[in-house]
Amino acid sequence: MKNSIPSYSSLVDEVAEVLNVSIDSAYRRIRGEKLLDFEEIYLLCKKYNVSIDKLISSQSNTIVFQGKQNNFGEENFHSWMVDVLAQLEMVNSFKEKHIYFLLKDMPPWYHYYHSELASFKFFFWQKSILFNENFKNQQFSLDRIDNTEYSDLTQRILKTYNKIPTTEIWNLEGINTTLRQIDLYH
Question: For 94-108, 136-150, 167-181, which range has the lowest pLDDT when averaged over its residues?
Answer: 136-150
Q: Is 67 helix (H, G, I), strand (E, B) or coil?
A: coil
The pLDDT value given to residue 63: 59
Same domain, 180 and 99: yes
Per-position DSSP letters for 57-109, written without gaps between them = ---TT------PPP---TTHHHHHHHHHHHHHHHHHTSSS--EEEE-SS--GG
Structural domain total, the chain: 2
Decide which of 66, 88, 112 is a domain's last residue.
66
62 and 150: one domain?
no
Are 86 and 148 part of one and the same domain? Answer: yes
Q: Is residue 95, in this structure, part of any structural domain at all?
A: yes
103 in the same domain as 61: no
174, 104 in Cβ contact below 8 A? yes
Q: Looking at the structure, tell me whether residues 82 and 165 fall in a common domain.
A: yes
Average predicted confidence (pLDDT) for the chain = 84
- pLDDT band for position 49 (cuts 50, 70, 90): confident
Q: In whole angstroms, what is the distance from residue 104 CA to residue 101 CA?
A: 10
Residues 92 and 160: beta-carbon distance below 8 Å: yes
Average pLDDT, stretch 111-137?
87
Q: Are residues 98 and 157 in the same domain?
A: yes
- Distance CA(63)–CA(87), nearest Å, equals 19
Would you say residue 161 has pLDDT above 90? yes
Whether 60 shows a pLDDT value over 80: the answer reads no
Query: Nearest-5° angle of CA 118, CA 186, CA 124?
Result: 35
Is the residue at 71 inside a domain? no
Higher pLDDT, 42 or 62: 42
Residues 83 and 59 in one domain: no
> Does residue 162 share a domain with residue 130?
yes
CATH number of the domain that 25 lies in? 1.10.260.40
Strand, coil or helix: what is 168?
strand
Q: How confident is the model at residue 68 (pLDDT cuts 50, 70, 90)?
A: low
The answer to whether residues 125 and 52 belong to one domain is no
pLDDT tops 90 at residue 20: yes
Q: Is 34 helix (H, G, I), strand (E, B) or coil?
A: coil
51 and 91 in one domain?
Answer: no
Q: Are residues 95 and 177 in the same domain?
A: yes
**Domain residue limits at 122:** 76-185
Last residue of a domain, one of 66, 97, 113: 66
For residues 121 and 77, give the distance between their C-alpha atoms in angstroms, rounded to a whole number.
11
Long-range contact list for 31-35, CB < 8 A, 24+ apart?
A: none
